[in-house]
Amino acid sequence: MSWPDPLRRLVSRVAVLAGIAALAACALTPAYGPGGSGTALQGRVALQEANDIDSFALNRRLSERLGPEQAARYELQYRLTTAVVAQAINASEVATRYSLNGTADFVLTDSATGAAITRGRASSFTSYSATGTTIATTTAERDARERLMVMLADQIVTRLLAGFPRQQ
């Protein structure tokens, strides 16, 4: 059975209005809007000290996203784990492509109380080719590590923004 055009238009309008009303009632706020979690964290997160090239890259990206530490009220601790896995092996049993897998377990704590505000795990992967010279392979791996740390940092910031209590 087909509905007449006027009734179909009415149902369509009612559905659109109901959707708008539902979105307005859900209490979502922009992360970087007034009272949003992005502005509450901007410049207020102290990062753990970097101790290797991966953590330096991760800290660099976290600082880009969260802003340089100015008046730290929170501390971000993390544990990085990476693994290189051969993905493509030629007839001579030589790996020609590698996958670089990484995870970062993190916790954001209140500096004053030591209470955990949010915690989680970010994970991602990237790959690189090993078909060129030794220097080309080393450079490709270094670039892959940099890309992986950017992906992990972006995931961490997204989860921090989503899990941070709303400011009043």
Strand partners, 77: 107
Rounded to whole angstroms, how far apart are CA atoms 133 and 10? 67
Structure confidence at residue 162 (pLDDT): 87
Number of other CB atoms surrounding residue 141 within 10 Å: 16
Structure confidence at residue 135 (pLDDT): 94
Which residue would you say has higher pLDDT here, 93 or 62? 62
Which residue would you say has higher pLDDT here, 103 or 88? 103
Structure confidence at residue 41 (pLDDT): 85
Half-sphere exposure of 88 (CA within 13 A, CB side): 8
**Extended strands (E) in the chain:** 45-47, 74-89, 95-110, 116-129
Residues 114-157 pLDDT 10s: 999 999 999 999 999 998 899 999 999 999 999 999 999 999 99
Structure tokens that stand for 101 in this block: 């897998």
> What radius of gyration do the chain's Cα atoms show?
23
Given a cut of 50, whether residue 168 has pLDDT beyond it is no
Domains of the chain: 31-163 (3.30.160.150)
113 in Cβ contact with 97 (< 8 Å): no
Structure confidence at residue 163 (pLDDT): 82
Residues 11-64 pLDDT 10s: 677 776 766 666 555 555 666 555 556 667 889 999 999 999 999 999 999 999
Structure confidence at residue 47 (pLDDT): 96
pTM of the model: 0.78
Phi-psi region of 75 (alpha: psi -120 to 50; beta: other; left: phi over 0): beta
Residue for token pair 């493509």: 88
DSSP three-state, residue 44: coil
Rounded to whole angstroms, how far apart are CA atoms 63 and 11? 49
Per-residue confidence band for 88, with pLDDT thresholds at 50, 70 and 90: confident
The residue type of 161 is L
